[in-house]
């Protein structure tokens, strides 16, 4: 559907938002309807978009967090971007990021409908919430009784992300997430944080877009989307730099000092150069799903990849991350001009 | 007072928070009590702290935003950092950033008292709010009547920031802000955004702390605190790199694409090496106030600096920023070990 919009000459921003809305509406994704429930049993959504126009003169970002009463959080992020381009009285700086009640009021003023939080909860999310809450209660009792609990891996964190390049060569990268299951209310993940959930930028000869998924806190502490985007745009060779940066700036980042956690990150990088897009994905999570197509394709290619790689090579002598494995895949898509 | 605490051997984190609380409690600063009022006439505060232990193994960040019922927002950011070090059940990732109602509930659970929003409003802030609101109404009417309005500079944005280095060599950099006057409710400035409002990091031989003030959106889009902190820690020579980065990565940053705005930024960089701290400040705002002292000083040195410099040299051929001027000052403080 996004491809059809791009074929009709619609903007990357419109197409990316439309695609994210579809993913938000699906009960299978952790975004919009069907999001993970927070510790209070409520849905609280994050979304973000970054937009770069081909000539590189116009870069825009909009992020929203802790939205409890909006069906499609990505549309609020889009409204923030549109608002930035409107005339302003008295030179008032327009916002980049809006959160909580204030963000909902902004959305309402911009014509979006507020909904009741319960309409965003799926059967599946409610079941998962009950299961995790029960586990947590049992763990608390076990700890009080002096028993030792084996740490479970973090429950699903799958942010959804969409990257679109339109006929003008403009790029939009958008992401949406319901956050970690049982997160503290008010917690912000990587998605609405500038440079962490998505990135879009142009140089004179190339363009880049990045979308990230995984443990939001680790993706924030490594400013991963911006780090990847700027380095690859400056130096080219996306596959080489993606691997190098994922090892040195993510898995073995000095900013991630707590070694008791695995590094949980998945990234999709689209490097756009003349007439083709070089897609590369890298992930340390168990799996990653990606679909892509060009307007000259009849249907999308969908890849479900499992992390079966060997251990990421430690480059700083830190051996405690033995269990973090990095898998990489790449695809080239030809564009029609 | 902060210095007395450091003399007693208290941690950089404790001393920095205590100092920020004093600044938050003052009606003269735009932080905590006396903050700028938002478009609804309410106080909504942001705060952030970053902490780096000398051996560089432990870097922590806590940020809060849109707090409407907490007297000292910095204490909530501190609680986030303390929470990160507590044992966790089932491997639940602790948050970096909390916002809005969720952040207030977290603060209450951690023993902080909730207050009514009206107790955070100073006479001065209410007066300012009324004046700006009136100006805005007049401007709206003037625009409707087809008149042209001269854009006024942004009303005061002064974030408060504190940097402390303790006896262990640990560094804390903390910031607190009430945000722009008449901001949209729910707007996040640079302070709670990782890498934008404050930075603290160690290498083997040196430590660095950065605190920023100015237009939050511009400071976010340039990830200014992190950009300055990491580059200066990697390359040394703080005065040289600070000037170069303020010109190329802030004033002439490609990410700040809207040329109708002046770049509004002020930064304080403390580069700590062996037995002395090299303080450098750089600002494009009209003025900047800084006070500093070492535990071997009897009283603090306070500098109120005006921006009287010439135009910042354009390095990318962009002549539209003629009015952005950069002033720099530097000081060396000897430490007692």
CATH of residue B263's domain is 3.60.20.30
Which residue does chain B place closest to A42, by CA atoms? B102
Residue A257 lies in a domain: yes
Q: What is the pLDDT of residue B142?
A: 82
> How many Å apart are CA A247 and CA A264, to the nearest integer?
12
More confident residue, B205 or B66: B66
For residue B217, the chain A residue with the least C-alpha distance is A96
- A15, A28 contact by CB (below 8 A): no
Which residues of chain A lie closer than 8 angstroms to B139, CB-CB? 89-90
* Owning domain of residue A234: 2-116+153-334
Helices (H) and strands (E) in chain A, counts: 8, 12
Rounded to a whole number, what is the distance in Å from the CA of B229 to chain A's nearest CA? 13
Q: Is residue B121 part of a domain?
A: no
Alpha carbon of A207: minimum distance to chain B alpha carbons (Å): 14
- Name chain B contacts of A254, Cβ cutoff 8 Å: 56, 59, 201
Residue B50 falls inside a structural domain: yes
Between B84, B91, B100, which is nearest A100 by CB? B100
Q: Determine the Cα–Cα distance for residues B179 and A97; give it in Å rounded to an integer.
A: 13
CB-based contacts of B5, cutoff 8 Å, min separation 6: B14, B15, B18
Task: Find chain B residues with C-beta within 8 A of A152's C-beta.
Answer: 90-91
pLDDT tens sequence across A149-158: 665 555 555 7
Does residue A97 belong to any structural domain of this protein? Answer: yes
Given the residues A3, A29, A159, A284, the one annotated as active site:
A159
Of the CA atoms within 13 Å of residue B286, those in its CB half-sphere come to 6
B328 versus A105: which is more confidently predicted?
A105
Residues of chain A falling short of pLDDT 50: 317
Angle at which helices A224-235 and A238-245 pack, to 10 degrees? Answer: 140
**Rounded Cα distance, A98 and B337, in Å:** 45
Instruction: With beta carbons under 8 A apart, name residues in chain A contacting B132.
Output: 90
- The alpha carbon of residue B41 and the mean position of all alpha carbons in its chain are separated, in whole angstroms, by 22
Structure confidence at residue B103 (pLDDT): 98
Closest CA to B320 of B266, B249, B228, B256: B256
- Give domain status of residue A132, yes or no: no
A337 Cβ contact partners less than 8 Å away, ≥ 6 residues apart: A275
Q: Output the pLDDT for position A160.
A: 93
A123 occurs within a structural domain: no
Q: Cα distance from B43 to chain A (closest Cα, Å)?
A: 12
pLDDT of B1 higher than 70: no
How many domains are contained in chain A? 1
What is the interface size between A and B, counted as CB pairs within 8 Å? 181
Contacts of A217 in chain B (CB under 8 A): 93-96
- Residue A28, classed as helix, strand or coil, is coil
Name the catalytic one among B29, B159, B223, B227.
Answer: B159
Comparing B318 with A95, the larger pLDDT belongs to A95
Shortest distance between the Cα of B64 and any Cα of chain A, in A, equals 9
Task: Chain A: give the shortest CA distance to residue B17, in Å.
Answer: 22
Mean of all residue pLDDT scores within chain B: 88
The widest CA-to-CA distance across chain B, in whole angstroms, is: 67
- Tally the residues of chain A: 337
- Mean pLDDT lowest among A230-239, B204-213, B306-315: B306-315
**Which one of A36, A95, A179 would you mutate to disrupt binding with B, by most B Cβ within 10 Å of its Cβ?**
A95
User: Is position B316 within any domain?
Assistant: yes
High-pLDDT (> 70) share of chain B, %: 89
| Span B162-200, pLDDT tens digits | 999 998 999 999 999 999 999 999 999 999 999 999 999
Q: What is the pLDDT of residues B272-282, one digit of tens each?
A: 887 788 999 99
Q: Which of A99, A185, A201 sits opposite B186 (nearest CB)?
A: A99
SS (H, E, C) chain B: CHHHHHHCCCCHHHHHHHHHHHHHHCCCCCCCCCCCCCCCCCCCEEEEEEEECCCCCCEEEEEEEEECCECCHHHHHHHHHHHHCCCCHHHCCCCCEEEHHHHHHHHHHCCCCECCHHHHCCHHHHHHHHHHHHHHHHHHHHHHCCCCCCCCCCCCCCCEEEEEECCCCCEEEEEEECCCCCCCCCECCCCCCCCCCEEEEECCCEEEEEEEEECHHHHHHCCHHHHHHHHHHHHCCHHHHHHHHHHHHHHCCCCCCCCCCCCCEEEEEEEEECCEEEEEEEECCCEEEEEECCCCCCCCEEEEEECCCCECCCCCCCHHHCCCECEEEEEEEECCC
Residue A179 backbone class (left: φ over 0; alpha: ψ -120 to 50; beta: rest):
left
- B103 closest CB neighbour out of A106, A186, A220: A186
Predicted complex ipTM: 0.93
Cross-chain residue pair B98–A136, CB shorter than 8 Å? no
Closest by Cβ to B140, choosing from A89, A100, A139: A89
Q: What is the pLDDT of residue B151?
A: 54
Q: Is A159 one of the annotated active-site residues of the chain?
A: yes
By CA distance, what is B103's nearest residue in A?
Answer: A186
Residue A309's alpha-carbon distances to A197, A219, A314, in angstroms, are 24, 21, 14
- Using a CB-CB distance cutoff of 8 angstroms, which residues of chain A are in contact with residue B226? 223
């Amino acid at each position: 559907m996004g491809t059809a919009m791009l074929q009709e000459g619609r903007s990357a921003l419109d197409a990316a938002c439309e695609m994210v809305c579809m993913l938000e509406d699906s009960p299978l994704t952790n975004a919009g309807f069907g999001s993970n429930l927070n510790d209070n049993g409520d849905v609280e959504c994050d979304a973000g978009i970054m937009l770069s126009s081909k000539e590189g003169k116009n870069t825009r970002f909009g992020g929203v967090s802790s939205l409890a009463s909006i069906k499609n959080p990505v549309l609020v992020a889009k409204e923030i971007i549109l608002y930035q381009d409107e005339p302003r009285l008295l030179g008032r700086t327009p916002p980049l990021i809006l959160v909580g009640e204030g963000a909902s009021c902004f959305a309402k003023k911009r014509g979006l409908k507020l909904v009741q939080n319960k309409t965003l909860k799926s059967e599946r999310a409610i079941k998962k919430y009950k299961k995790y809450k029960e586990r947590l209660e049992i763990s608390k009792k076990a700890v009080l009784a002096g028993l030792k609990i084996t740490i479970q891996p973090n429950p699903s964190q799958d942010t959804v992300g969409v990257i679109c390049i339109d006929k003008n060569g403009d790029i939009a990268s958008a992401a949406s997430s319901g956050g970690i299951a049982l997160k503290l209310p008010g917690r912000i993940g990587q998605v609405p944080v500038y440079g962490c959930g998505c990135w879009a930028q142009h140089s004179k000869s190339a363009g880049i877009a990045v979308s990230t998924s995984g443990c939001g806190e680790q993706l924030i502490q490594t400013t991963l989307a911006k780090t990847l985007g700027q380095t690859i745009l400056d130096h080219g060779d996306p596959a080489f730099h993606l691997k190098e940066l994922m090892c040195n700036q993510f898995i073995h980042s000095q900013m991630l000092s707590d070694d008791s956690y695995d590094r949980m990150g998945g990234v999709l990088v689209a490097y756009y150069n003349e007439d083709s897009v070089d897609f590369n994905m890298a992930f340390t999570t168990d799996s990653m799903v990606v679909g892509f197509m060009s307007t000259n394709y009849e249907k999308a290619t969908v890849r479900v990849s499992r992390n079966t790689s060997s251990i990421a090579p430690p480059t700083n002598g830190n051996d405690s991350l033995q269990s973090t494995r990095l898998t990489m895949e790449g695809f080239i898509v030809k564009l029609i001009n």
